Amino acid sequence: MRAIDQILTRMSSKKTFVCCGLDPDLSKLPFEIQIQKISDEEKVLNFLKVVVDITAPHVCVYKAQKAFFDKLSGGHDILKELIYYVHNMHPGLMVIIDCKIGDIDNTMSAYIETIFGKLNADGVVANPYMGNDTIIPLADLREKAIVVLAKTSNVSGSIVQDVILQDGLPLWKYILNLIVNYWNYNFNMIPVVSSTSAMNMLEVRSIIPDSIPILLAGVGAQGGSYSDFGKLLNSNGAGVFVNSSRGILYPASQYFWQIGIEEAVIELKDSLNKERRGK
């Protein structure tokens, strides 16, 4: 089954719209893990395996931020092992790698070989700024989920994304139209929109067909709200998922961190379902 279909199936079967970010920050790991006499790679892998086991019943997909793994000398192997663990211990759950790739053809071939060939990921986040050279090689990967930046949640993104073009459209909306109507010929695209900017979410959803899921970014530690979540739902009351990384992984209490992680993911899941019912 295609990665996007797997994500949509999880939304329906598990009644969840939560994407759990797997961003291993050594400085934020629970104290009991930090003091263990093992390598940093083992600490990260052990921690994330527990996170996956706790959150798996409550999420529709995982998103692993590659930068945190790249800080470790053995991070590449740890990420590969983590993806293998998710696939084998929790069948049906997909792992998207967030590294915002975007380059020319030969470099994209190298990225694709690493991310999908060696790491066996189910999807990737891409930056479309370099156009077809970046996105067409990914669009051709029908079975994979290709998450493409349209409107991001970082504060300074607006200096590029909100530039008004000659036809009056902001750049981000032009990119969104490319994602939906030009690059999505294999129906494997997922646009990213921001929860931290004042956007007309009903208008955004009207541009995006029911069959295309949306990643709502910036909820939680980045200050975004899911109050407009319901406006992004498709006609089936689904089709959008919300990523949370720090908000789930690093609860305030270090003594009962497993309970804190479980409470955080369930709270977000329940809150999104409440917004959905209130649509």
Compute the 3-state secondary structure of the chain and give helix, strand, coil in percent, each to the nearest 5.
Answer: 50, 15, 35
Catalytic site includes residue 100: yes
| Strand partners for 19 | 61, 243
| Candidates 63, 100, 144, 151; catalytic one | 100
What is the amino acid identity at position 24? Answer: P
What is the amino acid identity at position 179? Answer: I
> Which of 193, 142, 115 lies closest to 4, judged by CA?
142
Q: Residue 211 carries which DSSP code? A: T
Give the Cα separation of 156 and 64 in Å (integer): 23
Placement of tokens 């997922």 in the chain: 190
Residues in the chain: 279
Residue 11 neighbours by CB distance under 10 Å: 22
Give the Cα separation of 228 and 272 in Å (integer): 10
What is the amino acid identity at position 239? Answer: G
Active site residues: 100
